[in-house]
Amino acid sequence: MTGVLRLCLVSHAMTDAMSAGHFPADEPLNATGRRQLDAVDPGRADRTYCGPELRTRQTAELLGMPAEVEPRLADLDHGRWRGTALDDHPASDVAAWLTDPTSAPHGAESVVELIGRVGDWMVSLPRPGRVVAVTHPAVVRAAVLVALQAPPKSFWRIDVAPASRTVLHCRGQAWTLRVALS
């Protein structure tokens, strides 16, 4: 099917793990996160998806959006780093992870693997249409890289705030970054 696809990616709201600088587990939104959602308007949608984690499901629910759980919108898998602080790990492992997008010293998913997973999901979206996806900052970064055909090493140079939205449009096979709002 041809036509324009509008994809609004909503980053889930704040959690205690985010506030503390920890790798995420399957934690709920905190009070700050719940308040952040008062200012978010993802717009109209033909289809709404969310990641499987509690924080994305809660964000979608608080936005009043019944969402279909989509496993490909899951957060970057941090493996054995899940629930821990960045400082809990050897500096060399953290440096490798932050500079080499194929690296996964935590024993789970690399940035390159995440980008591939998100790109596969984006290709599968119905066209034309308006889609809202409530997901994670890492998934939003990956989607922006796919849309712009940017190199994976650019992943960490994209800042995605909690409860922000990023809008992408696709006409045919060409994606554009339409607007990024916090």
Q: What is the CATH number of the domain that holds 18?
A: 3.40.50.1240
> In terms of C-beta density within 10 A (0-12 exposed, 13-18 middle, 19 or more buried), how is residue 104 classed?
buried
φ/ψ of 159, rounded to 5, equals: -100, 125
> Cα 15 from chain centroid?
14
Q: Is the pLDDT of residue 1 over 90?
A: no
27-82 residue pLDDT tens: 999 999 999 999 899 999 999 999 999 999 999 999 999 999 999 999 999 999 99
pLDDT tier at 181, thresholds 50, 70, 90: low
CA distance 106 to 152: 18
Q: DSSP characters for 79-107? A: GGGTT-BGGGS-HHHHHHHHH-TT--TTS
How high is the pLDDT of residue 173?
Answer: 85
Q: Domain tally for the chain?
A: 1
| Residue 61 DSSP SS3 | helix
CA distance 169 to 101: 26
Q: What is the span of the domain harbouring residue 95?
A: 4-181
